[in-house]
Amino acid sequence: MSIDDAKRLAGIAACDEVQSGMKVGLGTGSTVHHTIVELARRYHDEGLDIVGVPTSLATHALATELGLPLVELDDVEGLDLVIDGADEVDASFQLIKGGGAALLREKLVAQASAAMVVVADDRKMVDTLGAFPLPIEITRFGHGTTLRAIMDLLGCKAAVRMDGDAPLVTDNGNFIVDAHTGPRLTDPVATEAALLSLAGVVQVGLFIGMCDVVHLAGPSGAERLVCWSGRLT
Q: Which residues are catalytic?
A: 106
> In terms of C-beta density within 10 A (0-12 exposed, 13-18 middle, 19 or more buried), how is residue 58 classed?
middle
Beta bridge partners of 216: 120, 223
Instruction: Say how far apart CA 87 and CA 29 lie, in whole Å.
Output: 10
What lies within 8 Å, CB to CB, of 26 at 6+ separation is 32, 35, 36, 39, 52, 53, 54, 55, 59, 63, 68, 82, 83
Dihedral of CA 23/107/212/39: which sign? positive
| DSSP letters for 95-152 | EE--TTS-HHHHHHHHHTBS-EEEEEEGGGB-SSBTSSPEEEEE-STTHHHHHHHHHH
Element (H, E) at 232: none
Tell me the three state secondary structure of residue 212. coil
End-to-end CA distance of the chain: 28
Which runs of consecutive H residues, i.e. helices, occur in the chain?
3-13, 30-45, 57-66, 103-111, 143-154, 188-196
